[in-house]
Chains A and B, each alone.
Chain A
Amino acid sequence: MIQGNGGVPVPDAVFMVSVARREEKGSDVNAASHLLLDVLTNVVDAVIVVSNDSDLALPVEQARLRVPVGLVNPTPGYPAGRLNASPDVGVGRHWWYQITGDDLRSAQLPPNVGTTIVKPPKW
Chain B
Amino acid sequence: MRVGVYIDGYNLYYGARTMCGRGTAGWRWLNLRALAGDLLEKHKGLWPAAEVARVVYCTARISGAENHEGQQEQDVYLRALRVSGSVDELSLGTYRHPHRDGSAGRGGEAEQADPEPPTMAGDDSGQWWRPRS
Contact = CB atoms under 8 A, between A and B. Distances in A.
Interface of A: 2, 4-5, 10, 12-21, 23-32, 34-35, 38-39, 43-53, 56, 68, 70, 72-77, 93, 95, 97, 99-101, 103-111, 113-114, 117-120, 122-123
Interface in B38-92: 38-40, 42-43, 46-47, 50, 53-54, 56, 58-60, 73, 76-77, 79-81, 83-84, 86, 89, 91
A122 B35 contact: no
B1 A45 contact: yes
* Dominant SS among interface residues on chain B: mixed
B26 A122 contact: no
Contacts of B36: 48
B123 A12 contact: yes
A13 B90 CA distance: 46
A73 to B, nearest CB: 8
A97 B42 contact: yes
B133 interface: no
Contacts of A113: 79-80, 83-84
A111 B38 CA distance: 20
B91 to A, nearest CB: 4
Given A10-B123, A119-B29, A46 B2 contact: yes
Given A117-B79, A119-B29, 4 more contacts: A21-B102, A50-B12, A76-B18, A114-B84
